[in-house]
Amino acid sequence: MNVSILFAKKALVSLLAGFLLLQGCASTANNNVLAYSSHDFGLLCFGGVSNVRLTYAGAPHKLFHGKGDAAPEKKTADATRIPGFLSGSYRTFAGPIDMQWRSRDGSELSHVIDLNKEVTGRHIPYDQPERVYAKKPFVVHPTIIVEFNDRTVNVYLAATLQVIPLDPAKRTYDHVESRTLVYSKTL
């Protein structure tokens, strides 16, 4: 075998190994890009709940606490809704969520969620992390949404991501909505 061919093969193998190593590092880096250390916080109420009281990070929240107030029924469009009012920014995660509310049948319910135990990892799930714009991955802070629906509490992690468009001629970044159910409990 010619010495120059042998040398070229060794160089090609080293180059390929380096490229694969860099690809692995790029994947890891993109996972870190999707990490978050702070978040906004919002509440949604449905299913006739009333007298909702919630404390998170020492901040009290009240909804549907007036006499005769009750939350509307959940509609299909509400499945992807972000609350109109958000409070934040909170350190991820700023202690337990302590909540009390009245269900449709008038039962007084209470529940505590410790997101530090319920949410594994501190990154936004997204199936194409290589497309995320690393310099500014989030349009706004990720949002923790606590949803009350009669006797059920759901907690979602929502974020709007900036991603590199699939069309290389496009000069702006695409925005992708991510919403993941991270906790659910029916009492």
pLDDT at res. 24: 38
Residue 30: how many other CB atoms lie within 10 Å: 18
Residue-level pLDDT at 6:
46
Give the pLDDT band of residue 119 (cuts 50, 70, 90): confident
Query: What is the reported pLDDT for 21?
Result: 31
* Confidence (pLDDT) at 151: 97
Return d(Cα 23, Cα 19) in angstroms, integer.
Answer: 6
This prediction's pTM: 0.79
Q: Are 187 and 111 in contact (CB under 8 A)?
A: yes
Task: Give the mean model confidence (pLDDT) for residues 79-95.
Answer: 87
Cα atoms in the 13 Å half-sphere on the side-chain side of 99: 29
Looking at every residue in the chain, the average pLDDT score rounds to 84
Query: Is the previous residue joined to 7 through a cis bond, with omega within 30 degrees of 0?
Result: no
